[in-house]
Chains A and B, each alone.
Chain A
Amino acid sequence: MKTILRRYPRVAIGGALLGILVALSLLAPWIAPYDPIALNVAQRLRPPTAAHWFGTDAYGRDVLTRTLWGGQISLLIAVSVACLSTVTGTLIGLVAGYFRAMDTVVMRVMDGLMSIPGILLAVAMLSLTKASVQTVIIAITIPEIPRVVRLVRAVVLSIREQTFVQGAMASGSRTWRILLRHILPNALTPIIVQATYIAASAVLIEAYLGFLGVGTPPEVPSWGNIIAEGRNFIMLAIWSVLFPGLFLGTMVLSINILGDGVRDMLDPRIAKRL
């Protein structure tokens, strides 16, 4: 473990930063000084003080408290989007790459989805249903899927022609066995690396959607919502955007650094060059 951390400092730095943020978010119910939702309009838009380290927002709520709680939502979204999009994308990619009959149809649909600008697709999808954390997760997930599908399909196409797979096919192994035992393990590394980048971009996109006014429901203290509410007062109360913005940036940064580190660790071909 120690050697890994020494050899891959990015894993250590990214992991440590992310670890701190995760801990702060998960401990929010115990360490946050105030209630994230209760209003106190008499105290609205107060600058940072000893009582409110990050100041208060337009409803007099403590920005520090809401920022800590917001980390939970962002984490939930990051993890869910990363898992959902990679699992779905991998399944579709395996099918498309392995069964040539499905390939054309599936890939044309994926091309179509991919050619719609992701953020616009998400905005349009969010106008479909009642806003909730789940719908936001789905709206961020769908535009990410085609990229995973392409990645997995490319790996499958290159592997299925190799002798050990051809051999397994010839010996009559069940299809799902071949996919699971021979093909999937080879695709795992690029999928994991991709998953970390998706997680980072999911955190950012959640904030962008909030910024554009179509994100999670307003009573949810997500970073996107805190920033979306604060942006109306940015010239008056920069703290209501600055602090959650810094947390947001740091989380994206830590996941990205971690992703780079994991890529170097899992893919020695690239790592050797460094």
Chain B
Amino acid sequence: MAGFLLRRIAMTIPVMLVVAIVVFLLLHLSPGDPAAIIAGDNATTADVEMIRVSLGLDKPLLTQFALWIGALLQGDFGVSVFNKVSVWTLIVQRMEPTLALAGVTMSFAVSIAIPVGVLAAWKAGTWIDHLAMGIAVLAFSAPVFLIGYGLVYEFARVWRLLPVQGYTPFSQDFTGFWQHLVLPAITLGLVFAALLARMTRSTMLDVLNEDYIRTARAKGLAPRAVLIRHALKNAAVPIVTTIGLGVALLIGGVVVTESVFAIPGIGRLTIEAVTQRDYPVIQGVILIASFVYVLINLAIDVAYAFLDPRIRY
């Protein structure tokens, strides 16, 4: 087991290296230049050149890469080229809203999707299944921003029930925290729940088709007992895996949702950093987002290995 763990952890190193190289090259080959943005609209060419030199952007690409990796290995993500605030601080500041949004969305989605998915699988082929899956396919085909603006318009503008934008920290105002998260979490949660419900249903169907379930059903065990004691128990691990993999899908939605509801999270930080070519920030954020994804997958693999001793990679 220890050997497997070590090998599995070692595997993440080349992956992270690939990410680092891809991200660095992508940014530094792009034609944008933060120096020009810092200087502003009415600046002269000489001003811009001066700022570029002061940022070290005139150095050869390889030197810049070496400097960046070297600092990274010492835990230094660098500072934003604009406001000189450390990238790590920026990420930490923006982490809370994103985690809150992702967490609430996830809980909302899971609490809808799992029962619906299980029910649809159990009643496969009936009108319940068709209805549930019909709604699911509708929900995950809808563009996130359309749902978002629709909700803002109805709940916040017309009925004045909920705030339109922004984020209130949990520690500051408990009610405000929830009020601000309801609409974004529903927006994103609908899409995500639809995906999860579909995945849950197909996983459950696989399990329900296993011989031992058929046997149990044939033996005349109460359907509820079969469903809960046998099927759900065995489907739990693949469903959890599905949820874990769904995290990657959440991120795309988070970027758009944060933009619609003006939530100052990681997604908005990244988009702003990309359009401004704030290299250290983009590199830091993408690296950390990838790292989180890699960690989650690592955790899932390890959990699998523990739960199912047959699996060895």
Q: Do chains A and B touch in the complex (CB under 8 A)?
A: yes
B71 at the interface (CB under 8 A from A): no
B149 contacts across to A, CB distance below 8 A: 231, 234, 241
Contact A208:B26 (CB < 8 A) given known A227-B145, A249-B141: no
A127 at the interface (CB under 8 A from B): yes
A212 at the interface (CB under 8 A from B): yes
A interface footprint on B224-264 (CB within 8 Å = 1, 0 otherwise): 00000000000000000000000010011001100100000
B85 at the interface (CB under 8 A from A): no
A103 at the interface (CB under 8 A from B): no
B143 contacts across to A, CB distance below 8 A: 204, 207-208, 227, 245, 248-249, 252
Q: Do A253 and B145 touch (CB < 8 A)?
A: no
Query: How many interface residues does A have (CB within 8 Å)?
Result: 46
With the chains together, A210 CA to B153 CA distance in Å?
A: 21
Q: Do A124 and B286 touch (CB < 8 A)?
A: yes
B205 contacts across to A, CB distance below 8 A: 270, 273
Q: Do B146 and A245 touch (CB < 8 A)?
A: yes
Contact A208:B252 (CB < 8 A) given known A253-B137, A256-B140, A274-B125: yes
Q: Do A117 and B294 touch (CB < 8 A)?
A: no
With the chains together, A211 CA to B255 CA distance in Å?
A: 11
Q: Which of A88-120 touch B at CB < 8 Å?
A: 108-109, 111-120
A121 contacts across to B, CB distance below 8 A: 22, 26
Contact A213:B141 (CB < 8 A) given known A112-B22, A116-B23, A124-B27: no
Please pick, from A111, A114, A212, A231, the residue contacting B255 in the complex, using a CB distance under 8 A: A212
Q: Which of B85-137 touch A at CB < 8 Å?
A: 124-125, 137
With the chains together, A96 CA to B35 CA distance in Å?
A: 43
Contact A127:B30 (CB < 8 A) given known A112-B22, A256-B140: yes
Determine the residue in chain B with the shortest Cβ distance to A125. B26
Q: Which of A109-164 touch B at CB < 8 Å?
A: 109, 111-121, 123-125, 127-129
Q: Do A117 and B248 touch (CB < 8 A)?
A: yes
Q: Which of A206-263 touch B at CB < 8 Å?
A: 207-208, 211-214, 227, 231, 234-235, 238, 241-242, 245, 248-249, 252-253, 256-257, 260
Contact A115:B124 (CB < 8 A) given known A128-B29, A249-B142, A253-B141: no
Contact A208:B22 (CB < 8 A) given known A115-B294, A249-B143, A260-B137: no
B19 contacts across to A, CB distance below 8 A: 112, 115-116
B172 at the interface (CB under 8 A from A): no
Q: Do B137 and A212 touch (CB < 8 A)?
A: no
With the chains together, A108 CA to B22 CA distance in Å?
A: 13
Q: Nearest Cβ distance between residue A206 and chain B, in whole angstroms? A: 11
Determine the residue in chain A with the shortest Cβ distance to B296. A115
Main secondary structure, interface of A, reads helix
A253 contacts across to B, CB distance below 8 A: 137-138, 141
Q: Do B18 and A108 touch (CB < 8 A)?
A: yes
A200 at the interface (CB under 8 A from B): yes
B277 at the interface (CB under 8 A from A): yes
Q: Which of A32-77 touch B at CB < 8 Å?
A: none
Please pick, from A115, A119, A212, A227, the residue contacting B293 in the complex, using a CB distance under 8 A: A115
With the chains together, A270 CA to B252 CA distance in Å?
A: 29
With the chains together, A242 CA to B308 CA distance in Å?
A: 49
A129 contacts across to B, CB distance below 8 A: 31
A274 contacts across to B, CB distance below 8 A: 124-125
A270 contacts across to B, CB distance below 8 A: 202, 205
Please pick, from B27, B30, B256, the residue contacting A212 in the complex, using a CB distance under 8 A: B256
With the chains together, A249 CA to B146 CA distance in Å?
A: 9
Q: Do B286 and A120 touch (CB < 8 A)?
A: yes
Q: Nearest Cβ distance between residue B261 and chain A, in whole angstroms? A: 13
Of residues A119, A120, A270, which shows the largest number of chain B Cβ atoms within 10 Å of its Cβ?
A: A120
Q: Nearest Cβ distance between residue A53 and chain B, in whole angstroms? A: 19
16 A-B pairs within 8 Å (CB atoms) are namely A112-B14, A112-B16, A116-B290, A120-B251, A120-B255, A120-B285, A120-B286, A127-B26, A208-B255, A212-B256, A212-B259, A212-B271, A231-B145, A238-B153, A242-B146, A245-B146
Rank and list the top 9 A-B pairs by shortest CB-CB distance, nearest first.
A112-B18, A253-B141, A252-B141, A119-B252, A117-B251, A115-B290, A108-B14, A245-B146, A127-B30
Interface residues of B (CB under 8 A from A): 11, 14-19, 22-23, 26-27, 29-32, 124-125, 137-138, 140-146, 149, 153, 157, 202, 205, 209, 248, 251-252, 255-256, 259, 270-271, 274-275, 277, 282, 285-286, 289-290, 293-294, 297
Interface residues of A (CB under 8 A from B): 108-109, 111-121, 123-125, 127-129, 200, 204-205, 207-208, 211-214, 227, 231, 234-235, 238, 241-242, 245, 248-249, 252-253, 256-257, 260, 270, 273-274
10 extra A-B contacts, CB within 8 A, seeds A124-B282, A234-B149, A245-B143: A109-B18, A113-B18, A116-B289, A119-B251, A119-B255, A125-B26, A127-B31, A241-B146, A252-B143, A274-B125
